[in-house]
């Protein structure tokens, strides 16, 4: 039986250090993001001095370096000899409600108190008293802020807290993949924000090539990959989304394919094949991190694609598209079955546009036909896999 594990412990001919090729690896220097880091630091500087600064919202597509830059700035702040700020980094994918966010803040700085199981009012008052003790500024960094279920309540609570704090204050730093997420906020919450916005652009092909070169020099063994393969991976990722995570997944997967095939080096064939697999993997990750109602719309499209709807429309290429109205009806039915209030048709159309921009669906406006002018929609990925993937997240959310 021991020979079953021989390949696992055998030294790799391709990889020198797989960790360096991981999207989660934090390099010592973040390339092509100096300007954005300086901007973050500039906006947070008043908090370091104990002043109530403006809130900050950081936007950008997945893989544009938002979280990495924020964490790098936080590390630098934590190493300052003197600072009036206390920073609490909160992953809202995990801490996805007002109560959980406030409990995480208490847990970061008052762990003994956090274990006592107090309600939200007690936790809120404890945070206020803790800030008042010495006039500190709490900087609440809310990563993926748009997935918080009761976001209006959270923002209103954190911003209005400044009225209850006698000395010191709270500054919000929100990070989101979606520039438009604030459109869904209640006007009451929006009126309290007083924010700055910072947008992270996608990486271009040349930038991704430099980023990849730095990683592959340490991640792969010498002579197992050439610059042409690196440039191809960068070009494929830039064409798709400008996503550094996608570029790293492509190059890492290409190495795995070369190793599986017992090749001495990575070729363009492995990179091209890896790009197809990595793109699909990233797409499923994006789908599973969509806001709840966008996820339910994608689920409705997948369900109809598998089950069929009363009306379908064939494009010139022979592919089957679904009518937008059928999808909306299915989405409403799914929402009701899950005891969730469906969004209006206006919001539905906006979500469809967002999903199209992200490459999750493909759509086009029809000419005059069975329903006059309408939008025709299909998934960009296999519906069976999407259905299975979303059902896992629905079961996970139900268990939380």
Torsion angle defined by CA atoms of residues 96, 176, 243 and 95, in that order, rounded to the nearest 10 degrees: -20
Residue 76, Cα to own-chain centre: how many angstroms?
Answer: 23
Residue partners of 302: CB distance under 8 A and separation at least 6: 379, 383, 384, 386, 387, 390
- The position carrying tokens 């989101």 is 176
- Domains, the chain, with CATH or none: 34-200 (3.40.50.300), 203-287 (1.10.8.60), 290-399 (1.10.10.10)
**CA nearest neighbour of 220 among 173, 270, 294:** 270
Q: Where are the beta strands (DSSP E) in the chain?
A: 55-60, 85-91, 137-143, 169-176, 195-200, 312-314, 320-323, 361-365, 375-379
CA distance 293 to 396: 15
| pTM for the predicted model, two decimal places | 0.81
Average pLDDT, 10 consecutive residues per value, the chain (400 residues): 58 93 91 96 94 92 93 93 92 94 95 81 95 95 93 94 94 88 81 89 96 96 95 92 91 95 94 90 82 93 82 54 92 95 92 85 72 78 89 69
Radius of gyration, alpha carbons of the chain: 24
- Let me know the angle formed at the C-alpha of 102 by 75 and 151, rounded to the nearest 5 degrees: 100
Torsion angle defined by CA atoms of residues 182, 185, 187 and 191, in that order, rounded to the nearest 10 degrees: -60
**CA nearest neighbour of 124 among 145, 103, 109, 151:** 103
The 361-365 sheet, strands edge to edge: 312-314, 320-323, 375-379, 361-365
3-state secondary structure of 380: coil
Both structure tokens of 46: 């008043």
Check residue 150 and give its pLDDT.
92
Check residue 316 and give its pLDDT.
45
């Amino acid at each position: 039986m021991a020979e079953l594990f021989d390949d696992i412990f055998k030294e790799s001919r391709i990889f020198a250090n797989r960790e360096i090729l991981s999207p989660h690896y934090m390099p010592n220097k973040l390339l092509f993001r100096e300007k954005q880091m300086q901007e973050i630091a500039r906006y947070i500087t008043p908090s370091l001095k104990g002043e109530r600064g403006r809130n900050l919202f950081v936007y950008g597509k997945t893989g544009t370096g938002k979280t990495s830059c924020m964490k790098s700035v936080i590390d630098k702040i934590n190493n300052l000899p003197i600072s009036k700020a206390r920073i609490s980094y909160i992953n809202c994918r995990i801490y996805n409600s007002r109560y959980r966010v406030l409990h995480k803040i208490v847990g970061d700085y008052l762990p003994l108190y956090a274990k006592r199981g107090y309600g939200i009012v007690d936790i809120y008052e404890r945070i206020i008293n803790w800030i008042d003790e010495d006039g500190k500024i709490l900087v609440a960094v809310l990563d993926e802020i748009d997935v918080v279920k009761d976001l209006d309540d959270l923002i209103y609570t954190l911003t209005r807290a400044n009225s209850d704090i006698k000395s010191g204050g709270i500054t919000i730093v929100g990070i989101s993949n979606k520039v438009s997420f604030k459109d869904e906020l209640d006007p009451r919450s929006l009126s309290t924000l007083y924010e700055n916005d910072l947008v992270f652009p996608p990486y271009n092909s040349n930038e991704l090539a430099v980023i990849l070169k730095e990683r592959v020099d340490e991640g792969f063994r010498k002579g197992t990959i050439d610059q042409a393969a690196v440039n191809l991976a960068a070009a494929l990722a830039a064409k798709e989304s400008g996503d550094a995570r996608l570029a790293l997944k492509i190059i890492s997967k290409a190495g795995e394919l070369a190793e599986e095939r017992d090749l001495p080096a990575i070729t363009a064939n492995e990179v091209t094949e890896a790009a197809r697999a990595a793109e699909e993997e990233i797409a499923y990750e994006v789908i599973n991190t969509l806001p709840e109602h966008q996820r339910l719309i994608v689920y409705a499209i997948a369900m109809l694609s598998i089950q069929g709807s009363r009306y379908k429309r064939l494009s010139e290429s022979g592919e089957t598209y679904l009518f937008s109205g059928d999808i909306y009806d299915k989405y409403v039915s799914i929402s009701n079955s899950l005891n969730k209030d469906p969004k209006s048709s206006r919001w539905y159309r906006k979500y469809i546009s967002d999903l199209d921009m992200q490459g999750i669906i493909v759509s086009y406006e029809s000419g005059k036909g069975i329903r006059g002018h309408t939008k025709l929609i299909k998934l960009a990925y296999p519906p069976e896999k999407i259905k299975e993937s979303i059902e896992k997240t629905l079961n996970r959310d139900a268990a939380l």
